[in-house]
Amino acid sequence: MGKSSPIFTAMGKRLVAVGCGRYKVGPGPVLGQADVDSYEAWQRSCGFTGSSAKWPPGPTSWAKLKVPKI
């Protein structure tokens, strides 16, 4: 949490695009709880459950989200 990278903005935009955005403000470049909540919603929508649906991203759900390379 609190790390900064343009990849977090790109990830957040994709999460919003697929209907899993949980942002009140953003997304932006600083990793925050809304990013984690959004990504966990995405992983659940992909069929992951339990600890498999928790942060951090797994390679399968990350590839499926199709975050553009920065």
CA-based angle 24:15:42, to the nearest 5? 105
* Per-residue pLDDT reduced to its tens digit, 11-34: 999 999 999 999 999 999 999 999
d(CA 26, CA 16): 10
Domain map of the chain by residue range? 6-64
Contact 48, 61 (CB under 8 A): yes
Looking at residue 70, its pLDDT comes to 82
The token pair at 10 is 């790109």
pLDDT at 1 (0 to 100): 87
Residue 14's nearest CA partner among 34, 36, 31, 39 is: 39
Which of 8, 6, 10 has its CA nearest to residue 68? 10
Hey, what are 64's tokens?
A: 């499926």
